[in-house]
Chain A
Amino acid sequence: MFPASFGYQAARSVEEALELLTKYGEDAKLLAGGHSLIPAMKLRLASPRYLIDIGRVPGLSGIRIDGDTLAIGALTVHADIVHSDLVRERVPGLSDAAGVIGDVQVRNRGTIGGSVAHADPAADFPVILTALAASFVAVSPSGRRTISVDDFFVDFYTTALAPNEVLTEIRLPLPPSSAGTAYHKMAHPASGYVVVSAGALLNRDSSGRCASARIAIGGLGSGPLRAKAAEAALQGKSLAAEIIAAAAAKAGDGANADDDFYASAEYKLHMATVLARRAMEQANQRASKKPALS
């Protein structure tokens, strides 16, 4: 199987990529690892006229701490996130999510930037990054801007990125040591994509109550959903199992799941509550293992 013919240019810098994007406009697509785009091109579901390869642009890869923010270069491959001690210690939920994407080979090649820019509603990163309140740094000829995750995922395969923007970095506030993160997924047995998934960030106050919570659900719509009713149900509460379960029961509130040939909408909504509970419980455990900040 072969992609339709296209024009190709490898950019050596972000500036050069922007120049090419400006020149070719909406006919051009950026290529990073290619693990979202190339499969679609092979099936001829996508046939961009031009590909601008930013895969070897220096400086867009790597994981670092920038003040109270974790900054992940857009070209960082999933495997590097999985194996990062920094991520595992500080944001294990992100590590969990990166570790269940595709398979070993896909994680060795696919990039976080490529994944989020593709905005597949069955992808993992959008869900956990929603829970983690991430933001996205985009550079265009007119400058750079930061897009909040709540604004970034617009629709099926659609983000807030403009056609002339390059996503360079994913940033997320480092959860305090009083917080825990987790990600749970039910994968489709064939594709490995999300049937339903849940990401959680729980922050405990000094008394062990929930100071703040962000819960995101994947698989129920055109993109990651904030489970705001579940979040609200935890706010200020003790994180006892029954409180978490009651909050998790609201994880699918307001969502419109669809039946598909693998799972019914009813099952997906049910699994949203199960996975949300599991993610919250694990996040809470992880939070409680750390000494609370006074």
Chain B
Amino acid sequence: MTTQHAPTGLIGASIRRVEDPVLITGRGRYVDDVQLPGMLHMALLRSPYPHAKIISIDTSVAKTMPGVEAVLTGADIDLNIPSPVMIPGQKIPPHPVLARGAVHAAGAPVAAVVARTRALAQDAANAIEVEYESLPAVVNAEKALEPGAPLAREELDSNICYTATKKGGDVEKAFAEADHIVRMHITSPRQVAMAIEPRGAVANPEPTGDLTVWLSVQSPHRVRADLSTALGFPEHRIRVIAPDVGGGFGSKGPLYREYALACHFALKLRKPVKWIATRSEDFVTVIQGRDQAMTSELALKRDGTMTGLKVRVVANLGAYLCSNTAGPPQRMMAMAPGCYQIRNVHVEVVAVFTNTVSTGPYRGAGRPESVLNIERLVDKAARELGIDRLEIRRKNFIRPEQFPYKTAVGVEYDSGDYERSLAEAIRLSKFDDMIRDRDQARARGELVGVGVSTFVEPSGGAGFESGTVRIERTGEITVLTGSSSHGQGHETMFAQIAAEKLRVSMDHVAIRHGDTLAIQQGVGTFGSRSAVMGGGALCLAIERVVDKARRFAAHLLEASHEDIVQTDGGFAVVGTPDKKVTWRQVAAAAYGRPLPGIEPGLQETVFYDPRREAWGFGAHVALVRIDRETGEPKIEKLVLVDDCGTMINPMIVEGQIHGGVAQGLGEAFREQMLYGADGEALTGSLIGYAVPHAENMPPLILGETLTPNPFHPLGVKGVGEAGTNGAPSAIANAVIDALAPLGIDHIDMPFTAPKLWNAIKKAEGE
């Protein structure tokens, strides 16, 4: 993609990242890099059983082992991870930091040890003897709904956590009058976020009685509040620091048990305590993504007009609720009709407990499931009705003049031009050539398929975000953002905004984030929200600071407030560019001798809430070849056209798309967290769970359209999840297109070679 940016503007320029000099020289500071004098280390003993009663725990040997300072079990500690009621009537079974009486997922912590070194802590944890009585376990959400299924949480009367519905129009009428109904059952594979940095915590009791905690988290303020609730320790006495965070992708959003435990030990022992997850621990404790089973019906007219949609989603929540576990199914519901005008929609979510790791937001968080569902339905409809699959999409797209557009499920999309996006993807992919090549290959007996996915990409939302702009005494600029970075380049992107709007060079701007002591209340980074929400807050704070600064400038320049305009590096009197002051002079006035009628200081804080999400969109096209002999799939072309409105830093935008696509390709071809029939984790480490390597990535062709967000001060929409949202369903459609000559009309992801080979063999035998 060629990037175009304004010749002088910082917003829109592919500026090299401010963060990088530290990271590329090994001077980043991640949680495990925090070393405090006298620091102790925590290790946990975890249940090997997915569901069991705890009969007894013997810690006597562990307590006497060298270097051990404390050992706790669920009998000693009654702390729970709080989970908010997100859906009325939702059941919230206990989520204890250490199992009390029973375990409900393999990996649930049963005992905790604190010792002088990590190795000694691990040795002692291994020396704890636990007697379990295994209970029947259930891991598949649909099976958990069958009569007679084991109860994942024995204290409840069913496995259903909640049922929620979104509907609009007259669905029954639409289906009664339909010329054709397409039916599908689709499951999305359970995925592991696999941020390369495992989770970790360092808790330090301060001499004042306060508590400082370094955490590898995406939302320091939210986690602090939950930590306070879990510990029963006042929020304002806790300082959470999210230092450099090595990736998150949603998985580092919530408070986890180990964080509360480390804090509990630190407060109790009055010593710093560190806990760093091993990769294998993360595999059985970090919230996992997807795992929604969707049963759908799409009603159409003979000409391809979509008139009704019914979706029943069975969402696997796992055994314990985290603060955001209910998020992805909600998201799935809100975007079920995708980019199509379907006026009669009924979506129901049945959220189910199972004896598996908790689920929650993972890059996309309901979006990829929803896109997969509607895009597979649309392709199948086109095939069954004998309509071109591009044509059926174009026919049903929400048209540009219809925005803002309120969908049947009550959500308002701000803007879009879906047909233009699809046209660009067709142009870049040389679509007709691809189809011709596919048909020739098919005639030779080869399995080649082309797939398309057109999709919407909601971003922002989740309440507010905060931004503070402070002009320091010397005129330097500090920005405090509630949006905490974990690799997205906030320090660069927000500095571009601030520098451009304040008309200074970027080196006069420092972006600070990720420390609850320094930063006003904030929300965090997830759901493609930082540029939209953090950027919006920053813009408004800048406007207010500039407005106030003009009053100081007016005083200094002996002009009226209305006549002061911004110039490079400061302010001037309109029409008299020689009469000017610098930011330094303005700041000196702001913090100097009080001026009549102006409150001293030059700092403004905005809590930004646009009361709507930003709806980006895109069109992805994939060409896939499957080796008939081995089942091995190969992606031969992948075209990604995304529209995220105004781009602040196109280089960073592209990087976000690249990373999202890689995770989307992981979902499509390789990644799936698997549990055995008895609930044991089969892919509980990187030996079993396959993430993409450099060699697995095809060349990417990126394209863009630009439809500014009319409701945002910069016109931006989020883009962080574009790759995970669009690419998997384009690939799924391509794989099924390749297998269509064999009569195959659906296979669930991931498309591994053994799975495809089995499907081909079965189809050929029939």
Q: Which residues of A contact B (CB under 8 A)?
A: 1-2, 4-5, 43-44, 186, 188-191, 193, 261-264, 266-267, 270-271, 274
Which of B122, B674, B686 has the most C-beta atoms of chain A within 10 angstroms of its own C-beta?
B122
Task: Tell me if B64 counts as interface (CB < 8 A to partner A).
Answer: no
Q: In the complex, what residues of B have CB within 8 A of residue A188's CB?
A: 690
Chain B residues contacting A263 (CB-CB under 8 Å) are: 754
B residues in contact with A43, CB < 8 Å:
280
| Contact residues in A for B754 (Cβ distance below 8 Å) | 262-264, 267
B9 at the interface (CB under 8 A from A): no
Q: Which residues of B contact A186 (CB under 8 A)?
A: 630, 753
Q: Which of B113-136 contact A (CB under 8 A)?
A: 118-119, 122-123, 126
Contacts of B670 in A (CB 8 A): 189-190
Assembly CA distance A43 to B688 (angstroms): 14
CA separation between A191 and B631, bound complex, in Å? 19
Q: Please, could you name 18 A-B residue pairs with CB atoms under 8 Å apart, sorted by A?
A: A1-B278, A4-B123, A5-B119, A5-B123, A44-B126, A189-B670, A189-B690, A189-B696, A190-B670, A190-B686, A191-B686, A191-B687, A262-B688, A264-B754, A267-B754, A267-B757, A270-B757, A274-B629
Query: For B688, what are the chain A residues with a Cβ–Cβ distance below 8 Å?
Result: 190-191, 261-262
Q: Residue on B with the closest CB to A47?
A: B126
Is B682 positioned at the interface, with any CB of A under 8 Å from its CB?
yes
Tell me, rounded to whole Å, the shortest Cβ–Cβ distance linking A60 to chain B: 29
Bound Cα distance A191, B670 (Å): 12
| Bound Cα distance from A191 to B683, whole angstroms | 11
Cα of A260 to Cα of B193 in the assembled complex, Å: 24
Given contacts A189-B752, A270-B757, A2 and B119 within 8 Å (CB-CB): yes
The reply to whether the CB of B689 lies closer than 8 angstroms to some CB of chain A is: yes
Q: Which residues of A contact B474 (CB under 8 A)?
A: none
Closest 3 CB pairs of A and B: A189-B690, A190-B690, A263-B754
Q: What is the interface of chain A mostly: helix, strand, loop, or mixed?
A: loop
Contact assessment for A264 and B758 in the assembled complex, using a CB-CB cutoff below 8 Å? yes
Q: How large is the interface on B (under 10, 10 to 19, 20 to 34, 35 or more residues)?
A: 20 to 34
A-facing mask of B749-760, CB < 8 A → 1, else 0? Answer: 000111001100
B123, B629, B683: which contacts A261 (Cβ < 8 A)?
A: B683
Residue in A44, A190, A270 whose beta carbon sits within 8 Å of that of B687 in the complex: A190
Residue of A nearest to B676 (CB): A261
Would you call B682 and A261 a contact (CB within 8 A)? yes
Minimum Cβ distance to chain B for residue A112 (Å): 22
Question: For residue B123, which residues in chain A have a CB less than 8 angstroms away from its CB?
Answer: 4-5
Q: Would you call B687 and A1 a contact (CB within 8 A)?
A: no
Look across to chain B and name the residue whose beta carbon is closest to the beta carbon of A195. Answer: B754
Whether B683 contacts A271 by the Cβ 8 Å rule is no
A266 to B688, CA, bound (A): 20
Which residue of chain A is the closest to B757 with respect to CB atoms? A267
Residue of B nearest to A44 (CB): B126
- C-alpha spacing A270/B632, complex, angstroms: 13
Nearest chain-B residue to A188 (Cβ)? B690
The complex places the Cα of A263 from the Cα of B631 at a distance, in Å, of: 11
Contact B630–A274 (Cβ < 8 Å) = yes
Min CB gap B414→A, angstroms: 40
Distance (whole angstroms) from the CB of B499 to the closest CB of chain A: 41
- Closest residue on chain A to residue B686 by CB atoms: A190
- The CA-CA distance from A266 to B629 in the complex, in Å, is 13
Chain A residues, CB < 8 A from B631: 267
Contact with A along B265-297 (1 / 0, CB 8 A): 000000000000010100000000000000000
In the assembled complex, the Cα of A274 lies from the Cα of B754 at a distance in Å of 13
A4→B758 CA distance, assembly (Å): 43
Contacts of B753 in A (CB 8 A): 186
Could you mark each residue 670-691 of chain B with 1 if its beta carbon is under 8 Å from any beta carbon of chain A, else 0? 1000101000001100111111
Q: Provided the pairs A186-B630, A189-B670, A191-B687 are in contact, do residues A267 and B126 lie with their beta carbons within 8 angstroms?
A: no
> Shortest distance in angstroms between A169's beta carbon and chain B's nearest beta carbon?
30
**What is the chain A residue whose CB lies nearest that of B689?**
A190
Residue of A nearest to B279 (CB): A1
Q: Which residue of A lies closest to B117 (CB)?
A: A2
Q: Given A1-B278, A267-B754 in contact, is the A261-B687 Cβ separation under 8 Å?
A: no
Report chain A residues within 8 Å CB of B674: 261
Q: List the A side residues contacting B122 at CB < 8 Å.
A: 1-2
Q: Is the CB of B630 within 8 A of A271?
A: yes
Chain B residues whose CB sits within 8 angstroms of the CB of A193 once the complex forms:
687
Shortest CB distance A187–B (Å): 10
| Chain A residues in 8 Å Cβ range of B696 | 189
**A-facing residues in B724-766 (Cβ within 8 Å):** 752-754, 757-758
Max count, chain A CB within 10 A of own CB: residue among B118, B686, B688, B691: B688
Complex interface: chain B residues within 8 A of A1 (CB): 122, 278, 280
> B676 to chain A: which residues have CB within 8 Å?
261
Residues of A within 8 A of B757 (CB): 267, 270
Q: Give Cα A225–Cα B702 distance, bound, in whole angstroms.
A: 47
- The interface residues of chain A lying within 8 Å CB-to-CB of B629 are 274
Contacts of B683 in A (CB 8 A): 190, 261
**Given the complex, which residues of A lie within 8 Å of B682, measured CB to CB?**
261
Q: How far is the CA of A5 from the CA of B127 in the complex (A)?
A: 13
Chain A residues with Cβ below 8 Å from B686 are 190-191
Contact A267 B758 (CB under 8 A): yes
A285 shortest CB reach to chain B, Å? 19
A271 → chain B closest CB, angstroms: 7
Minimal beta-carbon separation of A13 from chain B (angstroms): 31
Chain B residue nearest in CB terms to A42: B278
In the complex, A191 Cα to B688 Cα: how many Å? 6
- A245, chain B: closest CB distance, angstroms: 11
Beyond A189-B690, A190-B686, A261-B683, 8 additional contacts (C-beta under 8 Å) are A2-B122, A44-B126, A189-B752, A190-B683, A190-B687, A190-B691, A261-B674, A267-B758
Cα distance A189–B753 in the bound complex, in angstroms: 10
A189, closest chain B residue (CB): B690
A residues less than 8 Å from B689 (CB atoms): 190
Within the complex, what minimum Cβ distance (angstroms) separates A129 from chain B? 24
- Specify which chain A residues have a CB less than 8 angstroms from the CB of B278 in the assembled complex: 1
Chain B residues, CB < 8 A from A2: 118-119, 122
Q: Measured between C-beta atoms, what is the minimum distance from B510 to chain A in Å?
A: 38
Docked Cα-Cα span, A189 to B687, in Å, equals 9
**B176-187 interface mask toward A, CB cutoff 8 Å, 1 = contact, 0 = none?**
000000000000
Closest to B692 in A: A189
Shortest distance from the beta carbon of B507 to any chain A beta carbon, whole Å = 38
Q: How far is the CB of A108 from chain B (nearest CB, A)?
A: 18
Please report which residues of chain B, range 83-127, place their CB below 8 angstroms from some CB of chain A when the two chains form the complex: 118-119, 122-123, 126
List residues of chain A with CB within 8 A of the CB of B752: 189, 262
How far, in whole Å, are A294 and B356 apart by their CA atoms in the complex?
A: 67
State in angstroms the CA–CA spacing of A190 and B126 once bound together: 27
Query: Roughly how many angstroms separate A61 CA and B184 CA in the complex, as a whole number?
Result: 60
What residues of chain A lie closer than 8 Å to B691, measured between beta carbons?
Answer: 190
In the bound complex, what is the Cα–Cα distance between A189 and B278 (angstroms)? 21
| Min C-beta distance of A47 to chain B, whole Å | 10
CB-defined contacts of A267 to chain B, threshold 8 Å? 631, 754, 757-758
Alpha-carbon distance between A125 and B29 when the two chains are bound, in angstroms: 41
